[in-house]
Every structure is written in C-alpha cells, then in structure tokens.
Amino acid sequence: MARSDYASSEYGLDRLAGGIAVFSRGVRMLLARNGLTHEQMVKLSQWANPWGMTWLSTSQVSYLRTGQLKKAGPQTIDALAQVNLRLAQAAGISCQAVDDLPDFGPIPSTLGLPAEPFCLRHPGSHDPLDAGGLYQVWIGRLVPESLEEGGISDMEARRLSANLSRIVQAWARDRKVTIGDALERALAAYGVTEERRRQRLRSVVVGFEVYSGGDLDQELPVLGAMLGALDGDGPIGPADVRERLYRLPRD
C-alpha cells in the first residue's frame, strides 16, 4: 500500500486517531503528575530551548492536551520532546538522549516540580521518549509505558486516595464547614447506594483507609460526579478525575 493510500485508508485513519488520543493522554499526564499549568509548560519549553527554535505556546499545549490538534509538525513534537527529556534528566534518568542534552543547570525551582518528575517512557527500553518516540506515539505505533492499557496499581491508588481525602478536606476548610458536612455533600452526589462502598468512601476521606488499585478503577466514574458537585462545575470524566487526583490541593 502506498503511503498516501495508507494515510487515507480506514485503517490508517483509525490508527492515527488512536495515536492522537494516546498523545493527548500523555500530555495530560505530563501536566498533572508534574503539577504544571499550561503557562508553566510553556516556560519549561522556553527554558529547554533558549535559542527559541522550538517553543511550545499555551494554545498548542491546550490543543495537544485536549486532542484538538490534528496535525502536529516536527517543531511541536520536538519542543515537547525537549520538555520530556529535561523532566527525565531532573528525575535522574540516564540514557543517550538525556546525556547528550546541553548543560543548562537544574530546572528553575519557580516551576515547582515534584522531587521525582514524571516523564513519558518507552514501554520496551524504559528510556524517556525523544522526538522520534513521540512521533511514533502520534501516528499510533507506540503507547508510552505509563499509558499502556491496564488498571491503577495499588501503590498509585494509595497516593490518589490520600489526594482525594485532601481535596475534600480542603473544600471543607475553604468553606469553613466540618468534614462531616463536606462528606454529606459528597455522598449526596456520589450516586452509589451500596452501603459498603459509601462507607469505604467515608473511611478514605477521613484517612482511615485507602482504595486498592482495582477498587479505585471502579470508583473513578462515580467520583467524577462527586468532585463536580463539590466544585459546582458538573460531572467530570474518569480521565479528568484521575488527572485531578494527581494534583495536590493548595494548603
């Protein structure tokens, strides 16, 4: 099949659409796990590319995050790759692509990165993805290690459970109400009548228990309605719930 025929075929278009969706999830994970806003991602891109050859813009970050950018040029993918490699470098990961980076010193502390920054990695070699790897993701030929299909691990679930508790407690503190009042508001929007699961949610929110990976996978769809009700913004999807739980509420 010729290249043009492949690109216009149903198979080729399906694969490309799937690749763009995975790429979008990757950008969301980079933002969420590193606690970066769109503007901070742009600043990181500018720091990683001081010569201004391949900077990301806030609109590009937004379109990449939502999957609305249907054509990503090599400069856009290279700019994101530079960010990904710098995050890997900050996490202490060593590979040829990282070792070849110019020495710009540490990433500015003003960006507030976590102690161990998250980066997108190859599922086979576990090396951070460079521009070539990200292009393979874009065209649907590669799924990064952290985005492969599969449930939430128990270790990840412990962290996300703690963050869920902190979100509800922060909501109560900001509105000067008790945790009991916040729990009643949360449970009213929870949408699950099974008492076992409602009691489990209470225990997680007050910090007595944590969800297992399997349990949290099951809870994500209904937690979206609960968090949306607390915010007053309406229900949010499972992917957005998971992304939000990576962001610690401000104290």
* pTM assigned to the model: 0.61
Contact (Cβ atoms closer than 8 angstroms) between residue 47 and residue 108: yes
* pLDDT cut 90: percent of the chain above it: 35
Residues 66-122 pLDDT 10s? 888 888 888 999 999 999 999 999 999 999 999 999 888 889 988 888 778 889 999
Residue 248 has pLDDT above 90, yes or no: no
How many residues appear in the chain?
A: 251
Identify the CA nearest to 100 among candidates 121, 82, 123, 114. 82
Residues 121-147 pLDDT 10s? 998 788 999 999 999 999 888 888 866
Contact (Cβ atoms closer than 8 angstroms) between residue 79 and residue 55: yes
| Domain residue ranges of the chain, discontinuous segments joined by + | 3-147, 154-245
